[in-house]
Amino acid sequence: MPNKFYITTPIYYVNDKPHIGHAYTTIAADVLARYCRGQRMEVFFLAGTDEHGVKIAQAAQKQGKSPKEFCDEQSEKFKEAWQALHISYDYFIRTTDEKHERIAKLFLQKLYDKGFIYKGIYKGLYCVGCEAYKTESDLVDGLCPDHKKAPILLEEENYFFKLSAFNDKLKTLIESDELSVEPVSRKNEMLGLLKEGLQDLAISRKNVPWGIPLPFDAGQTAYVWIEALMNYVTAIDIFENEKRFSQWWPADVHLMAKDIVKFHALIWPAMLLAIGEKPPKQVFGHGFFTVDGQKMSKTVGNVIDPVELNAKYGADAVRYLLLSECGFGEDGDISFQRFALRYQSELAGGIGNLVSRVFALSEKQRSFKLDFSSPDGFDAATHKLWEHYDGRMKSLKFHEILRGVQDYATFCDRYIENAKPWGLDKTDPARLKQVLSNLLEAIGHIANALSPFMPEASEIILQSLPRAEGEGWGRYKGEEKKKKIAPLFPRIEG
Ligand code: MSP
């Protein structure tokens, strides 16, 4: 099925509740999924939670709960957050799902049967916060730079995956973009790691009971990352339902932040190659957010809860504000204050105000036949709005699209100021019809362009407009329907 689109987000660790960083990736994936559905593609959008490992077992213990009980509660919080933010995932996977555990074991067995797993002694450092093995060079003053904790020294008999065997193949795939790693800075970073040479990877742990036991040695559990990565294919029934699997695989894009690109662009494709499957088509690692210039952390107390933000601004606004804050591949900074300012200027005062003005003006008129005989520059402005839309969407340049919509809205505002429609009903009613027709169609274009980003507001606008036919300027035929709409983005105090 060439017209399919399989998109994934990382499966988030459940020791934390959802925060704005998780929401950022998930909203971006949702925008792409909605856009592709609008293009009549068959979409499979996968989200989920990562529930095994030491970190999660410890978090459960702290709360006096069994790991399963804790995971059930935490996973539900992610689902609730995604529902509040209108995330249209098609499937939500949990690594404690019986199906995931069953198929992950088949995957592990296959890797073993193909000779890519061997037993050895792991001696080295491990950061529980990252659930990752560390080298001295990863540390700053002996501490993990992300968790500010000293890693533990591990020395145990483990199973290893022959990652090094895939070094050259991965290099060819990434260089040729057959496995596209985006943006280019991340691609170069991966090529740099391949140049240094990949080491084999310990893929099991002793004495970590909260995990998936290895099918060939029940005394060890699978390293949490190894089975977590498998979620992308256990969700689509690899080994168990060939038709469903081949319908979706390879994934079109795995979306994440730059922190975990290495796992997705190197380890994961190697695991797939080892069992004779194709790597994903693209791994996209967007930037990292700080809050008011600082890394988000519980200790600093600056963790932004997307559910709270949602309660204040509404899902559409949160989606818009996050994706328009900075370029998707770049690092960015979020501040409550800037959110509030931008909400007022770009949504309540900007697009929201424009839409209310246009509907209020047209509401004063009796039904009239739309008249597009005087495009007054809207044909060119609309062409500009759409000219790079698809290309930007495909290259995940969300903020450029949103900037383009704001520019178009500004064009509309200026048009209103110049055309002064409020006096025209007395002096030149024919001209008023032209002006209103142009403005009504223009807000239709705004709604169409925004619909993957702001599904609710766009739907409200589109429901109140005539049905569009065709593309480009002059899509509306027929009569203007009169409908009143409530303000889309009410002004918010405080
Ligand atoms: N469980 C692993 C992923 C396994 S995927 C097979 C994991 N989980 S996580 O909960 O730590 O999520 C990391 C991801 O959360 C990042 O890659 C990114 O998508 C998102 N973000 C978390 N904090 C973020 C920021 N401060 N800024 C932007 N995105 C962030 O890693």
- The best mutation among 260, 298, 304, 323 to test binding of ligand 1, ranked by most ligand atoms within 8 Å of the C-beta, falls on 260
- Mean pLDDT, rounded, for 212-221: 96
Reported as a pLDDT band with limits 50, 70 and 90, residue 396 is very high
Determine the atom of ligand 1 nearest the C-alpha atom of 231. Answer: 6
- Mean pLDDT, rounded, for 328-357: 93
pLDDT at 321 over 50: yes
The upper half-sphere exposure of residue 77, i.e. CA atoms within 13 Å in the direction of its Cβ, equals 19
- Beta carbon of 328 within 6 Å of any ligand 1 atom: no
Task: Compute the distance from residue 47 Cα to the ligand 1 centre, in Å.
Answer: 12
pLDDT at position 113, please?
A: 98
Task: Compute the distance from residue 185 Cα to the ligand 1 centre, in Å.
Answer: 18
- Mean pLDDT, rounded, for 408-415: 98
pTM (2 decimals)?
Answer: 0.95
Site of tokens 């698809």: 390
- Beta carbon of 296 within 6 Å of any ligand 1 atom: yes
pLDDT in tens, 123-159: 989 998 888 888 888 999 999 988 889 999 989 999 9
Reported as a pLDDT band with limits 50, 70 and 90, residue 92 is very high
For the ranges 31-45, 325-339, 363-377, 459-473, the one whose mean pLDDT is highest: 31-45
- Beta carbon of 285 within 6 Å of any ligand 1 atom: no
Of the residues 36, 71, 127, 412, only one is catalytic, namely: 127
Task: Compute the distance from residue 291 Cα to the ligand 1 centre, in Å.
Answer: 15
Reported as a pLDDT band with limits 50, 70 and 90, residue 292 is confident
Nearest CA to ligand 1 atom 22: 21
| 295 is annotated as an active-site residue | yes
- Beta carbon of 22 within 6 Å of any ligand 1 atom: yes
More confident residue, 181 or 478: 181
- Mean pLDDT, rounded, for 391-415: 97
pLDDT in tens, 300-317: 788 888 999 999 999 999
- Beta carbon of 289 within 6 Å of any ligand 1 atom: yes
Task: Compute the distance from residue 288 Cα to the ligand 1 centre, in Å.
Answer: 9
- The best mutation among 26, 27, 50, 263 to test binding of ligand 1, ranked by most ligand atoms within 8 Å of the C-beta, falls on 50
- Beta carbon of 262 within 6 Å of any ligand 1 atom: no
User: What pairs with residue 157 in β-bridges?
Assistant: 121
pLDDT in tens, 377-390: 999 999 999 999 99
